[in-house]
Amino acid sequence: MSVFQSMQISSSALQAQSTRLNTISSNLANINSTSTPEGGPYREKSVIFRTRNPQFDQQLQSSMKNPNQGVRVERIVESRDPPKEVYNPSHPQANEEGYVQKPDINMVEEMTDMQAAVRSYEANVNSIKSAQRMARQALQIGS
Amino acid sequence: MFGDTINVLHNALNLRVQRQQVISSNIANSDTPGYAPARLNFEEQLQNSISDSQVSLSSSDPEHFPIHDEAPGVQGSVSREPSLSRIGDKNNVSLDQEMQRLSENQIKYEAMTKMLRKKFSTLQSVLQK
């Protein structure tokens, strides 16, 4: 039934938005992380969204023609901005000149991105609720 | 016996469900770069199909049943609204507009299911006489 397909589309968006929220939390948590397993300071991560068709047989159709597309996180990219340098000679990770490399994460940017992610999430929850209500109404037709 | 009402409502309900899908994918892709929101247009076609079906076959004998040829059903057409601005991520989804369309679609769907229920309950009360 196609009401369920619209729920699938919305739930793909819920997944994508929660991945986005996870990366934002990770950015905020690591706002002061000066070292990572990969070496160097933590780098800001962001998600790249991409449309997705919910079922494989629909992927064969031209994606421009098919209007029913979910969304998925295509990949998570790291910021290429250079880390900011803070003078702190007593820090164990300070270089010869006494500078420590810190991630260049803008707190305000992360918080606004977080709000936007939450709003999108809510919009999709409402869309699922609406589809649910339609399905329930359809079930009552005969009674 | 049932007339056109049930057929028309059936067709319209299907189209509303499809529109629901289109709107949910617009909402799902409200943050996807380059996404052009889709629109499912069917009102005009449905209107035309209803006025077309008024044309009935002539009957040469009063015993003839009127024939309601089952219309193939309106499919609706999908159009895209790409972003015309050259700035930003070329995503043209307006979340508030989509939410408005979503609730409008849902309310109209409910109205139609209600009409179908009334239709069936009328038939039921006739059958119980």
CA A84 to chain B, closest CA, distance in angstroms equals: 27
DSSP designation for A32: T
Q: Residue B92 pLDDT > 80, yes or no?
A: yes
Model pLDDT for residues A49-94, shown as the tens digit of each residue: 998 865 555 555 544 466 778 899 999 999 988 899 999 999 988 8
- Answer whether B111 touches A (CB < 8 Å): no
Say if the Cβ atoms of B24 and A124 lie within 8 Å: yes
- Answer whether A21 touches B (CB < 8 Å): no
Q: CA–CA separation, B105 vs B7, rounded Å?
A: 19
Residues in chain B with CB shorter than 8 Å from the CB of A123 are 27, 30, 95, 98-99
CA B76 to chain A, closest CA, distance in angstroms equals: 12
The pLDDT, as a whole number, for residue B39 is 92
ipTM higher than threshold 0.85: no
Residues B65-87, mean pLDDT to the nearest whole number? 75
What is the pLDDT of chain B when averaged over all its residues?
84
The pLDDT, as a whole number, for residue B98 is 94
Band the pLDDT of B104: cuts 50, 70, 90: very high
Q: CA–CA separation, B105 vs B20, rounded Å?
A: 7
The pLDDT, as a whole number, for residue B63 is 73
- Answer whether A73 touches B (CB < 8 Å): no
Band the pLDDT of B71: cuts 50, 70, 90: low
Q: Residue A98 pLDDT > 70, yes or no?
A: yes
Q: How far is CA A141 from CA A60, A68, A134, B10, B129, in A?
A: 35, 26, 11, 11, 22
Band the pLDDT of A21: cuts 50, 70, 90: very high
Scanning A80-109 for CB atoms below 8 A from B yields: none
**CA A118 to centroid of chain Cα atoms:** 10
Q: Above pLDDT 90, what percent of chain B?
A: 40
Question: In this complex, which of B18, B106, B114 lies closest to A2 when CB atoms are compared?
Answer: B18
Nearest partner of B94 among B39, B38, B34, B27, judged by Cα: B27
Residues in chain A with CB shorter than 8 Å from the CB of B28 are 9-10, 12-13, 16, 69-71, 124, 127
Q: Residue A109 pLDDT > 70, yes or no?
A: yes
Write the single-letter amino acid at A58: Q
Question: In this complex, which of A71, A116, A138 lies closest to B113 when CB atoms are compared?
Answer: A138
Of B120 and B53, the one with more pLDDT: B120
Q: Residue B41 pLDDT > 60, yes or no?
A: yes
Residues B91-105, mean pLDDT to the nearest whole number? 92
Scanning B57-86 for CB atoms below 8 A from A yields: 78, 80
* Phi, then psi, of B69 in degrees rounded to 5: -70, 125
